[in-house]
């Protein structure tokens, strides 16, 4: 694939309930009634403005489309799409390069419509877009089962599929497949879980152009991404800078020590049950459940024919089958909960400001020994130092296929710039003057 722009065409398909609306960036002069005049894409692998370890955020885009009949103006009551120009409408972007085939260029959802009147007629309409990540993050956190010694990929996949994401729409880099000894899901939104997991394992998450949700190590390139080799002929002006928003002299890492995990009675109830199957869903444990080890059950009034226990972090469900009506059954559950005993370690960040630098709080919600916590804090400090300096190019004719997570190899400059980098941000502009801005960090 060519590293430079090759006059690629764009096609936007707006998936209205009443039918598809298609606009292209390049059409014969006799077919200018629907024309994609310009498009701009802002692509990032996470929001590092507040937390350098990163939090999830959607990529965004904007389209400017000219329609001779003003059919995309939200206030046009004569439009066949009137009342359908709302937020959340799916828009499929495609790109056609030298191969002549249309390829996916992102699945997007509308966040705004703006029409106008100018010089005696309809003006172009601006449509704002974002990918699915923000919308997904606003969903309520699915029931998170109590777990220990679980693979990270299994945990992510379990929660996302419970939220309605198809398995084939999730990619988890094998490098993240470590075991989480214990973990606690904080917050009540799916974004809280995703951010927590990403901070646990130093990961980034974004949606790629095939609408796949990708998780991969923050200081690595994406295995499914592209590699672009840039020499002085392709680079133009190259810069490096310190990121003003990442100004920390140390990291303060909080964690739970092993003795924070307590084995105790989670619940102790006497239940009046009817013959047959009984489901009890209102059992609240004494603390955040990590695992349930045993359930003791006894009765003198009937025979217990079946027992099923499902443990979640904030509540426990039981299903008990008994032989008689009005059976009085005593049920006791024993398991492990996470206490409130937090411990802290700190690590210094090298090459920081002489004065005015802050302390980065890093909450792991993991059970660690002091040695493990100290090693992790040092990893965080090294990470903060790595992302505090970025490199980049502006206004270049680089390929529109460049994307966060891609690898950039800079070669033949004969300077300290030569080396390997990971793309962290890219802005791609299609208009009368094409251009790309790219930011990357050394890996």
What mean pLDDT do residues 66-86 have? 93
What mean pLDDT do residues 125-152 have? 85
Query: What pLDDT is attached to residue 36?
Result: 94
Q: Would you put residue 246 in left (φ > 0), alpha (ψ -120 to 50) or beta?
A: beta
Residue matched to tokens 């394992």: 201
Question: For residue 266, how far is the Cα from the chain centroid?
Answer: 34
With beta carbons less than 8 A apart as the criterion, state whether 141 and 193 touch.
yes
Residue matched to tokens 């208009």: 431
Residue matched to tokens 């046009």: 76
The band of 247, judged by pLDDT with boundaries at 50, 70 and 90, is confident
What mean pLDDT do residues 54-69 have? 90
Closest CA to 276 of 235, 326, 313, 236: 326
Give the integer Cα–Cα distance in Å for 272 and 280: 11
Q: What is the pLDDT of residues 299-342, one digit of tens each?
A: 888 899 999 988 777 778 899 999 999 899 999 999 888 777 78
Identity of the highest mean pLDDT range in 121-135, 250-264, 299-313, 334-348: 121-135
Rg (CA), the chain: 27
With beta carbons less than 8 A apart as the criterion, state whether 437 and 50 touch.
no
Query: What pLDDT is attached to residue 383?
Result: 82
What mean pLDDT do residues 63-70 have? 92
Query: What pLDDT is attached to residue 141?
Result: 84
pTM: 0.83
Query: What pLDDT is attached to residue 15?
Result: 97
Q: H/E/C letters for each residue in 369-417?
A: CHHHHHHHHHHHHHHHHHHCEEEEEEEECECCCCCCCCEEEECCCCCCC
The band of 354, judged by pLDDT with boundaries at 50, 70 and 90, is low
Residue 120: pLDDT over 70: no
Query: What pLDDT is attached to residue 10?
Result: 95
The band of 186, judged by pLDDT with boundaries at 50, 70 and 90, is low
In sequence order, what are the residues at sequence separation of 6 or more whose Cβ sits closer than 8 angstroms to the Cβ of residue 180?
147, 149, 150, 151, 152, 155, 200, 366
Longest Cα separation, the chain? 88
Q: Residue 27 — φ and ψ, nearest 5°?
A: -135, 155
Element (H, E) at 197: helix 190-201
Residue 196: pLDDT over 90: no
Residue 29: pLDDT over 60: no
With beta carbons less than 8 A apart as the criterion, state whether 181 and 230 touch.
no
Q: What is the pLDDT of residues 204-239, one digit of tens each?
A: 899 999 999 999 988 889 999 999 999 988 887 888
Which regions of 115-224 does DSSP assign to beta strands (E)? 117-118, 121-122, 125-130, 148-151, 170-172, 179-182, 203-207, 213-217
Identity of the highest mean pLDDT range in 59-68, 241-250, 377-386: 59-68
Residue 90: pLDDT over 70: yes
The band of 50, judged by pLDDT with boundaries at 50, 70 and 90, is low
With beta carbons less than 8 A apart as the criterion, state whether 221 and 419 touch.
no
Query: What pLDDT is attached to residue 185?
Result: 61
More reliable by pLDDT, 412 or 363: 412
More reliable by pLDDT, 52 or 322: 322
Query: What pLDDT is attached to residue 365?
Result: 72
What mean pLDDT do residues 354-359 have? 76
- What is the SS3 assignment for 433? coil
């Amino acid at each position: 694939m060519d590293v430079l722009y090759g006059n690629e065409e764009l096609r936007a398909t707006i998936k209205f309930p009443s039918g598809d609306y298609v606009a292209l960036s390049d059409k014969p002069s006799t077919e200018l009634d629907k024309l994609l005049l310009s498009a701009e894409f802002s692509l990032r692998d996470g929001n590092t403005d507040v937390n350098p370890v990163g939090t999830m955020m959607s990529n965004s885009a904007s389209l400017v489309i000219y329609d001779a009949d003003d059919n995309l103006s939200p206030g046009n009551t004569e439009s066949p799409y009137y009342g359908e120009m709302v937020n959340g409408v799916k828009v499929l972007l495609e790109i056609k390069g030298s191969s002549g085939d249309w390829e996916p260029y992102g699945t997007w959802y509308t966040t705004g419509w703006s029409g106008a009147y100018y010089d005696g007629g309809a003006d172009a309409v601006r449509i704002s877009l974002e990918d699915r990540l923000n919308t997904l993050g606003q969903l309520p956190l699915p029931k998170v089962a109590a777990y220990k010694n679980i693979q990270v990929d299994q945990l992510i996949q379990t929660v996302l599929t419970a939220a309605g994401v198809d398995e084939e729409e999730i990619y988890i880099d094998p490098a993240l497949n470590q075991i989480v000894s214990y973990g606690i899901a904080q917050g009540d939104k799916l974004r809280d879980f995703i951010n927590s997991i990403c901070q646990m394992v130093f990961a980034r998450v974004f949606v790629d152009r095939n609408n796949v949700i990708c998780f991969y190590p923050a200081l690595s390139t994406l295995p499914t991404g592209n590699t672009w080799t840039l020499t002085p002929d392709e680079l133009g002006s190259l810069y490096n800078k310190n990121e003003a928003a990442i100004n920390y002299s140390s990291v303060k890492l909080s964690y739970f020590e092993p003795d924070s995990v307590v084995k105790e009675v989670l619940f102790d109830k006497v239940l009046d049950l009817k013959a047959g199957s009984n489901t009890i869903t209102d059992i609240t444990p004494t603390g955040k459940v990590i695992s349930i080890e045993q359930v003791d059950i006894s009765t003198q009034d009937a025979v217990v024919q079946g027992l099923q226990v499902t443990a979640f972090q904030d509540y426990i469900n039981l299903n008990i089958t008994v032989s008689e009506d009005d059976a009085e059954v005593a049920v006791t559950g024993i398991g492990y909960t996470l206490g409130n005993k937090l411990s802290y370690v700190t690590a210094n960040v090298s090459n920081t400001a002489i004065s005015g630098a802050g302390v980065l709080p890093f909450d792991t919600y993991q059970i660690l020994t002091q040695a493990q916590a100290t090693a992790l804090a040092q990893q965080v400090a090294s990470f903060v130092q790595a992302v505090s300096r970025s490199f980049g190019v502006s206004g270049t004719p680089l390929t529109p296929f460049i994307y966060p997570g891609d690898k950039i190899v800079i070669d033949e400059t004969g300077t300290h710039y030569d080396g390997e980098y990971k793309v962290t941000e890219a802005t791609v502009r299609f208009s009368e003057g094409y251009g790309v801005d790219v930011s990357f960090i050394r890996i």
